């Protein structure tokens, strides 16, 4: 049995702006399960309902329909502080007048225990988050990353059944975030913590999660392991959200697709008919200009040891640009003419039918 279950959870705000309209649901019949010890990251653009989902589970947001259960218990009538969930928000709101230990101990205040026991537990938590002996430091003297660790220690202090993180590393700079996210994953793995996190940062989600849930307009657009989502985005929306730009309409028949870039091979077993097609940049292979699709190199962007190459096809009509990926030394110069061939293993036929069509909000009454 999953630890956390959301069944058919719907939340609506407001009453619709015009007569006869119903408000769009911030969460629209969401079903989600989180298994014990699992790290699930909810990912999506701003306004897609991520925070609302967390707030529902925490008990900070009432639902219009649906049910949330934790360990089999319906949480409908369980107040926030009795839900056994820990929360860490982006603005971690440490108490500036308390020292580090005082902030961490705040997480223990409901749990009794002698002063000595509490002090031991605080020290244990500080060690866990990599701040041993920092108990007496003033929180105002800590760096952003250290403050984040204190906030994490405070959230872990009462040993929550479920730890919920809202944009946990949102305010830190990228290199620190990349380091901390790896540390966090290791820490949660060692502790066996069950985590539900939300973020708009796909790098963070993919590095932290066992499972990624992509949201769009209050609905789940895809739910899968990082590898599954990365390899097979469920729709053009998910593909574009992940940063893939090579997405075009295509007519797919057996083994090949007719696209604005010409005929492209597709993996065996791909859905046929009118579809959207994704070509991962790694599948856009640059060859001699006399072969394949002729393109001009419009721009190059250096990304570590790889180079993203933006190509403008040299053909009439409104043909979308293509992004290719090259090794550092193989990237052609801007303005060069190249040929392009496509590798089937990096082509994904996106099954648009996985996205549910828009439907009216259930239970909402339109005003006359």
Binding site for ligand ADP (CB under 6 A): 13-14, 26, 44, 46-52
Q: How far is the CB of 2 from ligand ADP (least distance, A)?
A: 22
Neighbours of 359 (CB within 10 A): 8
CB of 26 or CB of 68, closer to ligand ADP: 26
Cα dihedral 317→323→329→332 (10° resolution): 10
Q: How far is the CB of 319 from ligand ADP (least distance, A)?
A: 34
Q: How far is the CB of 23 from ligand ADP (least distance, A)?
A: 8
Region for residue 318 given its phi and psi (left: phi exceeds 0; alpha: psi -120 to 50; beta: otherwise): beta
CB of 44 or CB of 292, closer to ligand ADP: 44
CA–CA gap between residue 2 and residue 194 (Å, rounded): 11
Q: How far is the CB of 166 from ligand ADP (least distance, A)?
A: 8
Paired with 299 in beta bridges are 310
Q: How far is the CB of 198 from ligand ADP (least distance, A)?
A: 6
Q: How far is the CB of 57 from ligand ADP (least distance, A)?
A: 12
CB of 13 or CB of 302, closer to ligand ADP: 13
CB of 58 or CB of 340, closer to ligand ADP: 58
CA–CA gap between residue 279 and residue 239 (Å, rounded): 10
Q: How far is the CB of 154 from ligand ADP (least distance, A)?
A: 22
Region for residue 72 given its phi and psi (left: phi exceeds 0; alpha: psi -120 to 50; beta: otherwise): left
CB of 50 or CB of 149, closer to ligand ADP: 50
Q: How far is the CB of 202 from ligand ADP (least distance, A)?
A: 14
Q: Residue 322: what are its φ and ψ, rounded to 5°?
A: -125, 145
CB of 80 or CB of 299, closer to ligand ADP: 80
Work out the angle between the directed axes of helices 144-156 and 174-191 (0-180°, nearest 10): 20
First to last CA, the chain: 45
CB of 35 or CB of 80, closer to ligand ADP: 80
CA-closest candidate to residue 146, choices 162, 160, 132: 132
CB of 44 or CB of 107, closer to ligand ADP: 44
Q: How far is the CB of 16 from ligand ADP (least distance, A)?
A: 12
Q: How far is the CB of 209 from ligand ADP (least distance, A)?
A: 16
CB of 51 or CB of 222, closer to ligand ADP: 51
CB of 52 or CB of 148, closer to ligand ADP: 52
Strands 293-303 and 306-313: antiparallel
């Amino acid at each position: 049995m999953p630890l956390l279950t959301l069944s058919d959870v719907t939340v609506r705000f407001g009453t619709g702006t015009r007569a006869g309209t119903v408000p769009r649901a911030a969460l629209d019949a969401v079903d989600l399960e989180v298994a014990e010890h699992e790290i699930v990251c909810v990912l999506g653009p701003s306004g897609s309902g991520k925070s609302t989902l967390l707030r529902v589970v925490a008990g900070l947001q009432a639902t219009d329909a649906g049910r949330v259960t934790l360990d089999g218990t319906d949480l409908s009538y369980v107040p926030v502080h009795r839900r056994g969930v820990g929360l860490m928000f982006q603005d971690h709101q440490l108490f500036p007048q308390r020292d580090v230990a005082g902030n961490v101990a705040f997480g223990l205040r409901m749990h009794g225990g002698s002063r000595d026991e509490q002090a031991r537990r605080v020290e244990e938590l500080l060690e866990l988050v990599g701040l041993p002996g920092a108990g007496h430091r003033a929180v105002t003297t800590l760096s952003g990353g250290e403050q984040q660790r204190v906030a994490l220690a405070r959230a872990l202090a009462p040993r929550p059944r479920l730890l919920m993180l809202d944009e946990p590393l949102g305010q830190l700079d990228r290199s620190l975030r990349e380091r901390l996210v790896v540390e966090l994953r290791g820490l949660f793995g060692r502790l066996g913590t069950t985590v539900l996190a939300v973020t708009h940062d796909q790098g963070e989600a993919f590095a932290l999660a066992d499972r990624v849930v992509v949201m769009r307009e209050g609905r789940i657009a895809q739910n899968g392991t990082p590898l599954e989502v990365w390899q097979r985005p469920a729709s053009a929306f998910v593909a574009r959200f992940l940063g893939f730009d090579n997405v075009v309409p295509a007519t797919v028949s057996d083994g090949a697709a007719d696209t604005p870039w010409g005929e492209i091979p597709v993996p065996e077993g791909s859905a046929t008919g009118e579809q959207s097609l994704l070509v991962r940049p790694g599948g856009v292979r640059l060859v001699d200009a006399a072969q394949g699709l002729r393109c001009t190199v419009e721009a190059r962007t250096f990304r570590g040891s790889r180079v993203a190459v933006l190509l403008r096809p040299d053909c009439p009509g409104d043909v979308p640009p293509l992004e290719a990926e090259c090794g550092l030394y193989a990237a052609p110069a801007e303005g060069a003419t190249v040929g392009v061939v496509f590798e089937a293993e990096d082509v994904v036929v996106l099954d648009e039918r996985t996205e549910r069509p828009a439907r009216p909000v259930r239970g909402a009454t339109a005003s006359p």
